[in-house]
Amino acid sequence: MRVSATYIREGDKVFAFHGNTLIAAETTYAAAEKTAVEYLDNLVAKDKAEQEHTAFKQARFVETPNGLKGEILGNVKGMWDENEITVRWENGRISRYETKGKGFKYHSDAPAEPESALDYLTKTLDADYAHDKASLTARIKELDGVVAKVAAVVQTGIPAAEERQLDSLALQAKLEQNEIHEALTHLEQADYEAYQPPAPFRTSAVEQASLGGGSGSWLEETVQDMIREASDQDFDKLLLEGPVQFVADVDTPALADQGVTASLARTFIEGKTAGLVGDEAEEYRKQFVAKAELARRDELKSRLKKAKKQEEKKAKKAKKDKTPDESLFL
């Protein structure tokens, strides 16, 4: 939308018009321009919002920020007057959203077909998914499909370079399957999905360890300091936010090893709950380690994606820098 204003001085007044509409009348040009610009900015914003809403209502297809495409099956008003859309993604999953997805692109034209099997399978492998039991189980089946499709494409007789790339995707899919199987086992052991804290965790309900009364030693004082620190902890907040904050500080090599991360998480939470003993304290520590494992998977996947993008960017730059030299021999 192209907008502009026409300024006219009449005596000691400066008028600004947009088309046939008076949008400002001030005593100075600067004041008239300021008022007119504010009016035009609001006009542009309103027009953009209307265009986006119209495009959203008329859209038949959607694309997520990471490139996953889908077809909109339904677009209706929800209970609170928010739009609810039902989408069938290209990986076969069907999802419903109560509002427009942040960063999603909506359009009425069918999305372009993938350029190659490698492109299609890479997007399937990079697709986001929830971490409840049902979603993890569905993801395992989805990864089975990736492995099967790679085998089918390789059997057609493709160039060696492409075969290596596809084999790498199949390997990534199998590794992710192994991690998901471990996560499901961990969820079942810790009963994470069904865990609902009946009440805020209270240190007064847990026995506190002691080295004995009145020794006056530095060791006794250190332990008592740890107990006092544990007593000041907000344990509900620690269980909710602590695992994510914990894995964010773990080095990538350690994060890639489930056993190492679990050991670090156990040491971390034991330090935070020092001086607390009993079944309730032990169950709390197990819950923290279980949640740290789920946070580890998300954090590791995010770091690997970032590293992959950086490598691709470097490869493209290297190829671009190399092209002029090669052209000298043409």
State the 10-residue block means of pLDDT for the chain, 330 residues long. 78 86 89 90 84 71 77 64 71 68 69 71 80 82 86 83 86 88 76 46 48 50 54 75 90 85 89 78 88 89 85 78 52
Inter-residue contact 94 to 32 (CB < 8 Å): no
Inter-residue contact 177 to 140 (CB < 8 Å): yes
Is this model's pTM higher than 0.85 or not?
Answer: no
Residue 166: the pLDDT is 86
Domain end residue (candidates: 163, 188, 213): 188
Do residue 227 and residue 297 come from a single domain?
A: yes
Beta bridge partners of residue 87, listed in sequence order: 72, 95
Residue 29: the pLDDT is 87
Do residue 52 and residue 84 come from a single domain?
A: no
Domain end residue (candidates: 188, 213, 233): 188
Q: Does residue 325 form part of some domain?
A: no
Structural domain harbouring 216: 195-315
Residue 308 C-beta-side C-alpha neighbours within 13 Å? 11
- Across 245-299, the runs of DSSP E, i.e. the strands, are 276-277
Residue 214: the pLDDT is 47
Residue 220: the pLDDT is 55
- Across 50-167, the runs of DSSP E, i.e. the strands, are 61-63, 69-77, 83-89, 94-97, 105-107
Do residue 199 and residue 311 come from a single domain?
A: yes
Instruction: Give how far the C-alpha of residue 39 lies from the chain's centroid of Cα atoms, to the nearest Å.
Output: 37
**How many domains, in total, are found in the chain?**
4
Query: What region, left, alpha or beta, does residue 81 occupy, with left being phi > 0 and alpha being psi -120 to 50 degrees?
Result: left
Residue 314: the pLDDT is 81
Q: Does residue 214 form part of some domain?
A: yes
Phi/psi at 6 (5° precision) = -110, 125
Q: Does residue 329 form part of some domain?
A: no
Do residue 32 and residue 51 come from a single domain?
A: yes
Do residue 200 and residue 309 come from a single domain?
A: yes
Inter-residue contact 116 to 98 (CB < 8 Å): no
Q: Does residue 326 form part of some domain?
A: no
